[in-house]
Amino acid sequence: MQVKRIIANIRTEDPTLADRFYRDILGLEMAMDHGWIRTYASPNHMTVQLSVAQEGGSGTDVPDLSVEVDDLEEALRRVKAAGIPLVYGPTSEPWGVRRFYVRDPFGRLVNILQHA
């Protein structure tokens, strides 16, 4: 048996609120919409990963999601243009990533990062 994918599920009363953040800002595509559930996916291939952490690194809280992007400055520009406050960063971490934290529309802590 092989795991084909891992999907993060976020509870909300209004799944449409995800569009602005996950589609418009992060550029994910709508893969499925049944009204009560929406699934967003990268137009590119993603690998399966699961992290279990005691902290988020550099003394930060463990983020609910980590989203790796290919252009952190563009992600940061979109977040700022949307008026979403930064929780942490942007900063270059000693383990080779540049990142920042924000909260999505549901209050989840999201780590947006790019490998250096």
- 8 by Cβ neighbours in 10 Å (0-12 / 13-18 / 19+) ranks as exposed
- What is the per-residue pLDDT across 14-42, written as a single tens digit (0 to 9) for each? 999 999 999 999 999 999 999 999 999 98
CA pair distance 45, 68, nearest whole angstrom? 12
- 113 by Cβ neighbours in 10 Å (0-12 / 13-18 / 19+) ranks as buried
Q: Determine the Cα angle at 105 with ends 101 and 109, to 5°.
A: 30
pLDDT at 61: 97
Q: 10 Å Cβ neighbour count for 38?
A: 18
Q: What domains can you pick out in the chain, each with its CATH number?
A: 15-115 (3.10.180.10)
- What is the per-residue pLDDT across 70-89, written as a single tens digit (0 to 9) for each? 999 999 999 999 999 999 99
Amino acid found at 114: Q
